Amino acid sequence: MAFLERLFGRKDDAAALYRAVVERAREPQWYQTGGVADTIDGRFDMIAAVLSIVLLRVEAEPGAEALGVALAERFVDDMDPQLREIGIGDIVVGKHVGKMMSMLGGRLGAYRAGLAAGSIDAALLRNLYRDRDSGEAALAHVRGRLMALHASLAKTPLDALKAGRIA
């Protein structure tokens, strides 16, 4: 067992929750109605958006730090083989994973700030649409779905989250 797993908890604690995040991020409605690019980058951005909303919920739960750490570790464990599959070599995979973690951290901060300010539009335009014009209807769709997820998660008990229920 790795040092961080002993210190903060097991990655397995977040397995069901991370699967639920990825399943939610892969829903066709994000790409079809929401106008998110159905590309490798677009799928990463959508996973990062949903994961950010979930991590913000976990962050709000006193004593749930271990779950947040385990969820971030699951993200790394998922991204590493994805990079290898698209042809990133062993020598630079770590650098790419580090960049992805930095990107996730930036998105987490942007969504946190947007939620605190009352609008996640700027975070969506920059981080999900990468400053391309998505159209108001697409933006409204994604905003509505992510805000509904945020509201739903606020009412979801921690045990349900750990079980992967992110209705």
Q: What is the tens place of the pLDDT at every residue in 63-89?
A: 999 999 999 888 877 766 565 565 665
What is the rounded average pLDDT of the residues 43-60?
A: 95
How far is residue 83's CA from residue 66's CA, in Å, rounded to a whole number? 26
**pLDDT higher than threshold 60 for residue 41:** yes
What is the rounded average pLDDT of the residues 21-38?
A: 97
pLDDT at position 110 is: 96
Instruction: Specify whether the CB–CB gap between 144 and 65 falls below 8 A.
Output: no
How far is residue 134's CA from residue 128's CA, in Å, rounded to a whole number? 10
**pLDDT higher than threshold 70 for residue 146:** yes
How far is residue 145's CA from residue 135's CA, in Å, rounded to a whole number? 16
Higher-confidence position of 45 and 95: 45
